[in-house]
Chains A and B, each alone.
Chain A
Amino acid sequence: MSSTGDFQKDLEALLPNLRAFARSLTGTTDRADDLVQEALVRAWNFRDRFQPGTNLKAWLFTILRNAHISERRRRKWEVEDVDGEYAGQLSVSGEQTAHMDMLEFEAAFATLPTDQREALLLIGAEGFSYEEAALMCACAVGTMKSRVNRARARLASKLGLADESDATQEPAGASIGLPATSASAR
């Protein structure tokens, strides 16, 4: 079993990605940093439950995600970025994202439903597998795949790359890789 010092170092190594994920979920630096802090405290308090050799990153991201859900329930609000406020707060400094296409992408990204945005971040940005992301989000693998597909399709549509209705079509009989009793893809 890794020592406390090793565990601390492992957590510190994951901080940049953890914070980026928190920023993407919350849209604001202040809320994201509070969320990261909450996640770190929880991870530390529950570190005996982590099995060394398993995916610490996935474990830590799950803790942060759960903390975010708890916070949202307390606040009882959803990030509905109708006016683009979320996108504006998510932006990195103007020097780094000067191009209009990136600003456009950020605005489009902000309009994604929370579950789709989260799915795209986990799969497309952080590189988790569908199986890992589904476990972290407590959903079926097919549901996770559907969320990612829909997110990509919506972004493509908003960016003028494709028509959203065309992009979400699946061929007849396409398997979503799940047994019949699993939740249907949404």
Chain B
Amino acid sequence: MSEKIVQPPSQAPAEVRGEDRNDVPEHGLDVDSRDAIAGRLKQLYGGLVNEPMPDRFKILLDRLAGSESKS
């Protein structure tokens, strides 16, 4: 199966990163509710990001890089 890779846009300049460029008015959802959801999402997700990383991925990448250097 051929891989369809979507080329991402260029790195956005620093001034458009962060909340401002995604500041879409969400009519009916007050700021407090939106902030509460954002906070809990970041807490949940942050916990996942900070989980201990198994060795298998580093081992895999080392193997991929190593097999290439031998060829």
Residues on A lying within 8 angstroms of B by beta carbon are 4-5, 8, 11-12, 15-17, 19-20, 23-24, 33, 36-37, 40-42, 44-46, 49-51, 53-55, 58-59, 62-63, 66, 70, 90, 92, 96-97, 101-102, 105-106, 109, 120-121, 123-127, 129-132, 135-136, 138, 145, 148-149, 152-153, 155-156, 159, 161-163, 166-171, 174
The answer to whether B57 touches A66 (Cβ under 8 A) is no
Counting contact residues on chain B (CB < 8 A from A), the size range is: 35 or more
CA of A44 to CA of B57, assembled, Å: 12
Report chain A residues within 8 Å CB of B68.
4
The answer to whether B6 touches A16 (Cβ under 8 A) is no
A-B contact pairs, 14 of them (CB 8 A): A8-B62, A19-B49, A40-B64, A58-B8, A59-B8, A62-B5, A102-B44, A105-B41, A125-B41, A131-B9, A148-B24, A153-B29, A167-B27, A168-B28
Q: Does B14 contact A (CB under 8 A)?
A: no
Residues on B lying within 8 angstroms of A by beta carbon are 1, 3-12, 16-18, 21-22, 24, 26-30, 32-34, 36-38, 40-45, 47-51, 53-54, 56-58, 60-62, 64-65, 68-69
CB-CB under 8 A for A109 and B16, given A53-B11, A55-B10, A59-B5: no
